Chains A and B, each alone.
Chain A
């Protein structure tokens, strides 16, 4: 049976009391650990995990394989040996906890569901990006920092679609551009010359 199926089977069997075991202190921070891993560890076949630390000093544990597949930065760190599984965590000072969790969600979903059909994946992506503009920018910057190609392309495409076909006043509203930087004379001149743009 595939490891994935084993995990899902186990998590279905687990009693809730086991979840209480799943928060443990590691190096002064609290680490979340999925229950099924503990059981697997007890069974003797642990999945390699890495620890990512957000700018708010919260630690996220995630499968190494998932992050290595998606993030070029993390892949490079692991390959060149600068990451020590036993004790290190990867500090991501540019990414806050909320965004990091979303990024991990994206990578995890795409690794585990990469065999799904295109429509389902696209629907999930659309739902995933159903966030406010500021959340979208944070995701974009995190994806850029971690060099996650497919997430970057997805966000670029989404923002491009938000821009396409819209007039200037609407764009300023959508992207919350309060100060356009033109002098009142320039702005007036532009509006007079190209009224259909606005």
Chain B
């Protein structure tokens, strides 16, 4: 019979094939572009990549960990403690390093399936999609060479939906005794640096935080900052990417003066956690930008935790490290702070992990201005890059 010779592409309208693809993980779709020309055009479509990312961003998250300076691994979070599922797979990923000279990477942040890496000693910032291999390298040596010490920098990485642009924000103070703070912002779409000094609220004070302290949420980048000249973080600085303007909200009074505190997101809400090695407190701002909506959601009587994400609606998954035993593992706590489960990581060298890790969702999204036939030249994260797209100032 003639119908038996027909296949899926002949029978189903492309709208339905599209909806099927929406549910298939990004990893599979990347491979399946080569099944047929129709599948290739459906999957490579920008709008499809956008809907696909939105469909999966809350549910298919992975943790990306930089193992050492050139290697990383990626582990899916949704089935981490699922007894019925297979044991978690730790996918090895090669960072996009040049072959000569050597590169050392530090993970700074993630946004929409892209990771922001810092590449030393060349002083490059690399935006990289590990799944598609799409990447862009930006040089900031014009700034870096003048700055001492290294941790005078703070970074931010976010997406401006109104302009379909990714922005990388760097801010720093130029030497140890100088009080001035400078800010520069790189726009991927225009491939240029934007000076935002004028918009920066002063005084900003200095900070003690390590580099990874930014957070992208609700179209804005967030950092902890101090409102006065001492080292105490008591505000959150918000940089709205669309308006290109700054604002501040205050942190809960109970956390002022506590150290160390870090910004994270918990189920789409801005949150702060305090980890003083004996306990972990997680405060969540239930209503965005409403200072009075901060609540202490988790009061966990164990320290050395880096909260990662929520699971099952109320449990929290964290990375836990015990220095004494050199152990790194995933742990799950419930809302009253009880340890529910833990899952050890098969890694012996832990030192950089918990500081150089972030939650990310695999996506097929292209960088702004990516042309279609660049697709063929891009390699996946499994292979090293031959050429970089270097933007110099």
Would you call the interface of chain A mostly helix, strand, loop, or mixed?
helix
Q: Is the CB of A165 closer than 8 A to any CB of chain B? A: yes
The complex places the Cα of A107 from the Cα of B20 at a distance, in Å, of 22
Q: Is the CB of B6 closer than 8 A to any CB of chain A? A: yes
A137 touches B37 (CB 8 A): no
Would you call the interface of chain B mostly helix, strand, loop, or mixed?
helix
Q: Is the CB of A8 closer than 8 A to any CB of chain B? A: no
- 8 A-B pairs with C-beta separation under 8 A: A133-B7, A140-B12, A157-B23, A159-B20, A178-B7, A180-B35, A182-B37, A193-B376
* Count of CB-CB pairs between chains A and B under 8 Å: 75
Q: Which residue numbers of A lie inside 8 Å of B, CB to CB?
A: 133-134, 137-138, 140-141, 144, 156-157, 159-160, 163-168, 171-172, 175-182, 189-190, 193-194, 197-198
Question: Closest A-chain residue to B13, C-beta based?
Answer: A141
A190 touches B34 (CB 8 A): yes
Interface residues of B in 1-28 (CB under 8 A from A): 3-9, 11-13, 16, 19-20, 23-25, 28
Q: Is the CB of B32 closer than 8 A to any CB of chain A? A: yes
Question: Closest A-chain residue to B19, C-beta based?
Answer: A156
The answer, among B3, B24, B376, for a CB contact under 8 Å with A189, is B376
A137 touches B36 (CB 8 A): no
B318 to chain A, nearest CB (A): 29
Q: Which residue numbers of B lie inside 8 Å of A, CB to CB?
A: 3-9, 11-13, 16, 19-20, 23-25, 28, 31-32, 34-38, 376
Question: Closest B-chain residue to A133, C-beta based?
Answer: B8
B299 to chain A, nearest CB (A): 35
Asked, given contacts A134-B3, A137-B11, A157-B23, whether A177 binds B28 with beta carbons under 8 Å apart, the answer is: no
Asked, given contacts A164-B25, A180-B37, whether A175 binds B7 with beta carbons under 8 Å apart, the answer is: yes
Given A133-B7, A156-B20, A179-B36, 9 additional A-B pairs, CB 8 A: A134-B4, A140-B16, A156-B19, A163-B24, A164-B25, A168-B32, A175-B7, A178-B5, A182-B36
The complex places the Cα of A53 from the Cα of B7 at a distance, in Å, of 27
The complex places the Cα of A160 from the Cα of B20 at a distance, in Å, of 6
The complex places the Cα of A44 from the Cα of B322 at a distance, in Å, of 76
A172 / chain B contacts, CB cutoff of 8 Å = 35-36
Question: Closest A-chain residue to B41, C-beta based?
Answer: A181
